């Protein structure tokens, strides 16, 4: 399994940030309180998520029950330093989307990025995309991945990478 997914390497005692800020953007670990916003955001933006983030998810609308299980799974992985999923909001609380820091091999093959130590991806809602926040999230993640986390060689695996 280690050849297929390279675990994240966090130093002993590392505690992932509970709040990240960049301009008007605020990221907090996704949890059950984000369920309704997350379901609405995913279901209203399936095509945008597919064209910007890419990958095999989501293939169809999500239900609250299934997404609840997914969020709890993200909470557990966060706690165990296996992966980090953040809900993204504007400072006024408006839901923007999600950001993911995953082990390399989970979304993209290790062999394509043998030197990378974290796979970073994200999605935003149509309103956030149209307001330019897709690129803002990318810039924020470029900072956070190396300044707030112990990573030095992130790969940004979205299909659309802002210039």
Over residues 62-84, the pLDDT tens digits come to 999 999 999 999 999 999 999 99
Locate tokens 């309103």: which residue?
A: 127
- For 113, phi then psi, to 5°, come to -140, 65
Give the pLDDT of residue 55.
93
Cβ distance 154 to 46 under 8 Å? no
First-last CA distance in the chain: 35
CA gyration radius, the chain:
15
What pLDDT is stored for residue 4 in this prediction?
A: 87
Please indicate, yes or no, whether the overall pTM of this predicted structure exceeds 0.75: yes
Q: Among the residues of the chain, which ranges form H helices?
A: 35-44, 46-52, 64-79, 126-130, 133-147
Share of the chain above pLDDT 90, in %: 94
The residue ranges of every structural domain in the chain are 20-156
Cα 128 to Cα 137: distance, rounded to the nearest angstrom: 10
User: Cβ distance 99 to 18 under 8 Å?
Assistant: no
pLDDT at 16 exceeding the cut of 70: yes
Class of domain 20-156: alpha beta
46, two tokens: 């399936």
pLDDT at 2: 47
- Sheet containing 95-102: give its strands across: 20-22, 25-29, 84-90, 95-102, 118-124, 154-156
Residues 134 and 45 sit within 8 Å (Cβ to Cβ): no
pLDDT in tens, 101-149: 999 999 999 989 999 999 999 999 999 999 999 999 999 999 999 999 9
pLDDT for 3 beyond 60: no
The answer to whether 96 touches 137, Cβ cutoff 8 Å, is: yes
């Amino acid at each position: 399994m280690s050849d297929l997914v390279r675990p994240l390497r966090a130093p002993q005692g590392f505690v992932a940030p509970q709040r990240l800020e960049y301009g008007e953007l605020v990221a907090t670990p996704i949890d059950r309180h984000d369920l309704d916003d997350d379901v609405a955001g995913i279901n209203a933006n399936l095509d945008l998520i597919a064209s910007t983030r890419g990958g095999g998810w989501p293939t169809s609308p999500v239900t609250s029950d299934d997404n609840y299980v997914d969020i709890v799974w993200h909470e557990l992985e966060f706690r165990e330093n296996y992966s980090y999923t953040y809900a993204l909001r504007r400072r006024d609380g408006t839901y923007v989307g999600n950001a993911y820091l995953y082990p390399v091999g989970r979304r993209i093959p290790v062999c394509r990025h043998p030197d990378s130590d974290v796979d970073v991806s994200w999605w935003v809602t149509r309103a956030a995309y149209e307001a330019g926040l897709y690129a803002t999230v990318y810039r924020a993640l470029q900072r956070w991945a190396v300044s707030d986390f112990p990573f030095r060689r992130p790969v940004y695996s979205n299909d659309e990478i802002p210039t």
